[in-house]
Amino acid sequence: MRLFLSFLVAGLVAASEGITQVTAQSPPASPQPDILGTWDAIERSYGGIGSTLLLSPDSTFALILGAMVDGKYSIDGENFTIVGDEPGSKPDTQKLTYASGTAILSSHGCSHKLSRTDSVAGDSGLVGRWKFMHITGVPAWWEFTGDGKNRLRVPIQVQRGKFSITGNSIALHTLSPERADSKLDFILSGDSLTVSNEAGLHKLVRARTLIPFDVQQPARPKRMLCTPRR
């Protein structure tokens, strides 16, 4: 659980600096089908803070800043161990149990109750996509694959609005939390997307949908749901 806390502390610091606004205008136009979906930033700050861009078929978008933790996991009986892909990441072992269709991870006196968000068969164990309330009091999403990989996403700031595409430019009309128009030039190459604005180049990779397209700005955490024992 201490692993999770370190990611979120770093995330709240990053969030306080705000999300870099991108530049743009343009009336709505039909989005290009091959650019729709979920795009994860390749570059992330220390502690796993990065951005996810969701482009929906209904021309709405969500730009999410939050904890993005990718890594590997293993299960040995009730022992669940994860280790992040970041250099220097250390294994974190927790107790894994199941109850009434939920998965429960417990460690250091705290626990997370995970609920499925997909239709994976009930005998698949932990494999699939899950949602849970993070220890800091905000919703989080977690995916486990059959080959021992996992993706954890904890949104901190969410921008939502409408988008349109003209040529190789994406026009973003942000509606919340504040109204703003912005523009990104992009280069699409298979499952790689490079976008650019006055702040520089940003490389993203296509990812399986984990955070839902209708994600909203999480409420500011009022308190820790649990304080892990050392």
Strand partners of residue 116: 130
Q: What is the mean pLDDT of the chain?
A: 85
Residue 33: asked if its preceding bond is cis (omega within 30°), the reply is: no
**What would the DSSP string read from start to end of 139-200?**
EEEEEE-TTSEEEEEEEEEEEEEEEEEETTEEEEEEEESS-EEEEEEEEEETTEEEEEETTE
Phi-psi bin for 30: left (phi > 0), alpha (psi -120 to 50), beta? beta
Per-residue pLDDT at 20 exceeds 60: no
Note the pTM of the prediction, 2 decimals. 0.81
User: Any idea which residue has 């993203």 for tokens?
Assistant: 204
Identify whether the C-beta of residue 105 lies closer than 8 Å to the C-beta of residue 115.
no
Tell me the mean pLDDT in the region 127-154: 94
Q: What is the pLDDT of residues 190-208, one digit of tens each?
A: 999 999 988 889 999 999 9
Q: What residue type is 98 in one-letter code? A: Y
Query: What are the residue boundaries of the structural domains of the chain, listed by start?
Result: 21-66+157-207, 68-155
| Highest mean pLDDT (candidates 1-5, 77-81, 83-87, 124-128) | 77-81
Q: How confident is the model at residue 121 (pLDDT cuts 50, 70, 90)?
A: low
C-alpha closest to that of 181 among 21, 58, 20, 30: 21
Architecture per CATH, 21-66+157-207 = Beta Barrel (2.40)
Neighbours of 173 (CB within 10 A): 20
Q: Which of 181, 182, 186 is nearest to 167 (CA)?
A: 186
Higher-confidence position of 9 and 68? 68
Contact 104, 117 (CB under 8 A): no
pLDDT at 12 (0 to 100) = 36
- Quick: pLDDT tens for 32-56: 558 999 999 999 887 789 999 999 9
How distant, in Å, are the alpha carbons of 9, 97, 193, 199, 228 from that of 161? 27, 39, 20, 20, 37
Mean of pLDDT values over 66-76 = 95
pLDDT range class, residue 5, cuts 50, 70, 90: very low
| Residue percentage of the chain with pLDDT more than 90 | 66
The answer to whether residue 129 scores a pLDDT higher than 70 is yes
